[in-house]
Amino acid sequence: METKNESCESCESRVDLIKTDPKKAILKLFPTMMLFMVLMMGYMLIDTIWIAGLGYDAIAASGFVSPIYMIMIGVGMGLGTGAISLISRSIGEENRSKANNVALHSILISTIISIALTIVFVVFLKDILILIGAKSVLTPAMEYGLVIFIGTFPFIINLLLSSILRAEGDAKNPTYAMIAVAVINIVLDPVFIYSFNIGIAGAAVVTVLGSVAANCYMLYWILVKKNSYISFNIKDFKFNLSIIKEILNVSLPISLEEMMLSFSTLLMNTMLVIAGGSMAVAVYTATWKIFSLSLLPAMSIESAVLTVAGVAIGAKNFKNLEISSNYGIKIGVVLGGILAVLSFVFAPQLAYLFSYSFSDPALVNGVVELIRILAVVTIAVPFGMVSTAIFQGAGKGVTSFMLNFTRDIFFVLISAYILGFILGLGTIGIYFGIAIGFIVGSIVNYICYRIYLSKLKEEKDLFYKDTVSQVNS
């Protein structure tokens, strides 16, 4: 049973809000999570801006390291989602000691994986960089990459601690930690890169220091201030292989999905090259930056629903589960609709903003066209993202992976190929295929979620009837 922490009234109120009022909980969580994601994207952009001052070779070097770095980030996000899923369900079960045990297990798993990844990336970094074509900028890529991957542990722990706090409804402190990361990058990047004359390695050092600082802040909040539901009390640690399996059941599919998305981008670029040459790829790449920003509200709502849904599933409160999903979708559709209108109307301005360095009007016109084609997707995507969040909250990582795969990869690639090549519509067909694929995939995700919710309700009704009949007999 749950034991109360008398010194933490604020964390108790956060948890109670998730249990009793899922609408308010989502409304409180998602704006802060959106700010967190904006800050995360922002500090990466800041690094790129300062590195750009070193010249084209430095930019290219960081670009070659970036996809390897994103694999590491994907692993961290996967481990964090696995922790959120099981911790939130433990909170729903009102089992605080189990929630602490899960948090401690997630730290153990992350430490082991971080050490393994550090060894692999550091030992084989040179070979990997040569394999992906970075031979011409190998020296600066090695200088940057070695420092980054030596810092694998603080990167992954940073993402994990943020997720653990979000599992108990605290999105504020992970955001404060991310603000610290952004400020450190803004202030120290020019100092380390130019004043200390460390060059591109200086940017990597600052990035690692930012993660270390964020970890120190969150650990201070948990261990010293003791103002969190999770306490990391070592007395609660009881090694349990099933807990490890449950965390990995959610985290591994999510990490795999990040890798699959990279492969999907490669296939999409190949189709675009065949249909429209390098210009089509440039249009797609520039537009995707804008489209990714328009997806931030839906991604933030997805994260908020994951926490609330996990608690509801743990408590077997399927009414709250349905309320949270419906409310999350409603907010997502409203915000998506607003963004769809704004992106459609201001497509020329957005196109110029992201392609100002190119003088070719064909690129700008192509970006405007694709922005307007994809605008409607922002209205449909919340149905898919919220639905997969429910399955993640239930610990069904493989199901979530399959749904994300069908939405983000399968339907997108298939519809793009059919319209672009089989129907002979070329580049414009591929563009419309991308939009149609996302919309169809989101609808399929939502149908699967509704079927799952119906089964949960039926199982609960059957259990209740069986219990009543046993009592009466």
264 against 340, higher pLDDT:
340
Give Cβ neighbours of residue 342 (< 8 Å, ≥ 6 apart).
Answer: none
pLDDT of 3 above 50: no
Q: According to the model, what pLDDT value does residue 269 have?
A: 83
Mean pLDDT calculated for residue range 86-99: 94
**Cα(279)–Cα(298) distance, integer angstroms:** 29
DSSP 362: H
The pair of structure tokens assigned to 471 is 């009592």
Q: According to the model, what pLDDT value does residue 5 have?
A: 45
Q: Which of 131-135, 235-239, 358-362, 397-401 has the lowest mean pLDDT?
A: 358-362
Mean pLDDT is highest, among 209-218, 272-281, 462-471, for 209-218
**Cα(451)–Cα(269) distance, integer angstroms:** 35
The pair of structure tokens assigned to 355 is 């392609």
Q: According to the model, what pLDDT value does residue 466 have?
A: 52
Q: Which of 8-17, 66-75, 149-158, 190-199 has the lowest mean pLDDT?
A: 8-17
118 against 284, higher pLDDT:
118
Q: According to the model, what pLDDT value does residue 465 have?
A: 53
Mean pLDDT is highest, among 13-27, 175-189, 414-428, 458-472, for 414-428
Tell me the CA distances in angstroms from 335 to 23, 247, 297, 300, 332, one per residue in order: 16, 32, 7, 12, 5
Could you tell me if 193 and 203 are in contact, meaning their C-beta atoms sit under 8 angstroms apart?
yes
pLDDT of 207 above 60: yes
**Cα(435)–Cα(407) distance, integer angstroms:** 11
Give residue-wise pLDDT tens across range 296-313: 999 999 999 999 999 999
The pair of structure tokens assigned to 59 is 């930019």
Task: Report the chain's mean pLDDT, rounded to a whole number.
Answer: 89
**Cα(343)–Cα(113) distance, integer angstroms:** 41
* Helix then strand then coil, % of the chain, to nearest 5: 90, 0, 10
DSSP of 364-421: HHHHHHHHHHHTTHHHHHHHHHHHHHHHHHTT-HHHHHHHHHIIIIIHHHHHHHIIII
Q: According to the model, what pLDDT value does residue 67 have?
A: 78
- pTM for this model (two decimals): 0.84
Q: According to the model, what pLDDT value does residue 473 have?
A: 54
Please give the angle made by the CA atoms of 216, 217 and 222, to the nearest 5 degrees. Answer: 95
Nearest to 125 by CA among 42, 204, 239: 204
